[in-house]
Amino acid sequence: MLSLWARDEDGGPDMTDRGIEAVLAHLAKLPPPESLTLAQRRAQYERAERAFPVPSDVAVQRVAAPVAPAEWLTPPAARTDVVLLYLHGGGYVIGSPRSHRHLAAALARAAGARALVLDYRLAPEHPFPAALEDAVAAYRWLSEQGIAPARLVIAGDSAGGGLTVATLVALRERGLALPAAGVCISPWVDLTCSAPSYAKNDAGDPIVRPALVADMARAYLAGVDPRTPLASPLYADLRGLPPLLVHVGSDEVLLDDAAGLAERARAAGVDATLEVAPRMVHVWHWFLPMLDEAQTAVDAIGAFIKARAGPSR
């Protein structure tokens, strides 16, 4: 993956231009990620906080959850009993609530729910299983706040999409009540980085760079076998998981990760829905201020969350 925001002096994207071509034009202006230090890439990603601000009617509250802090995002008229636990992307080494606040807020609005965006620990400072332990701790914390599992949905993008599945598996293995559903946006679920779409879609994917993804996998794994199920949930036993919604773009390097996840989940008896969007880039939802297809995808996720966790008692 690469950082998705250009330098401040670039001026960011022109919000009057909409559509995938405008997104691709913006991405083409970004410096090569291999030319940036890790600190620079982290800072660049978080510029989204200024370029894609959260609407003023969404309340933002920082909280100290167990192990890692988090942010509550509360849109107007959100139900207090329905919660989206959001796990941001960034290859387990970059990203935070600041880089993904606008996307999580949009998903919460579409679902008529609150969102808790977790600031989980990042590699290489905190390798596997730190992010997973933080996600499990956040889920337990939400339960302690009185949120019923049937009113909870876990969602994430890219690495956060893989972490979503790993968290569901970990909760099941620990005998905890599972949430109503999981949502995986362009999920990274196979840290062997060996699926055919890595080569097939390399030239057409402007965001996921196979060599960089492999470096991120090494940083997160820190010597652990990449087929470890809770690090690469494509290899996990998925039996008994709640319904899953999986979104992916047709031209993504991670297309086979997403399709493989849906296939393995269905084989395990899980109600898994795979939606492949033509021509869309990795986590196109993130570009919703300038991409109509992003809003369409966000609305679809909101409807899914409402159907699974939001019906009236």
Catalytic residue IDs: 158, 252, 282
DSSP string computed for 10-31: GT---TTS-SHHHHHHHHHTSP
Tell me the two tokens of residue 259.
Answer: 């399709």
Residue type, position 290, single letter: M
Check: CB of residue 234 under 8 Å from CB of residue 167.
Answer: no
Q: Give whole-number Cα distances, 45 to 29, 33, 49, 54, 129, in Å.
A: 14, 11, 9, 16, 23
How do 59-63 and 70-74 pair as beta strands?
Answer: antiparallel
| 223 Rama sector, left if φ>0, alpha if ψ -120 to 50, beta otherwise | left
Q: Which residues contact 44 (CB under 8 A, 6 or more apart)?
A: 3, 5, 6, 7, 36
76-98 residues labelled b (16+ CB within 10 A) or e (exposed): eebeebbbbbbbbbbbbbbbbbb
For the four alpha carbons of 213, 159, 32 and 253, in that order, the dihedral sign comes to positive
Helix or strand or coil: residue 190?
coil
Task: Report how far residue 258's alpha carbon sits from residue 245's, in angstroms, rounded to the nearest whole number.
Answer: 10
Task: Report how far residue 110's alpha carbon sits from residue 183's, in angstroms, rounded to the nearest whole number.
Answer: 14
Check: CB of residue 288 under 8 Å from CB of residue 106.
Answer: yes
First-to-last C-alpha distance (Å) of the chain: 41
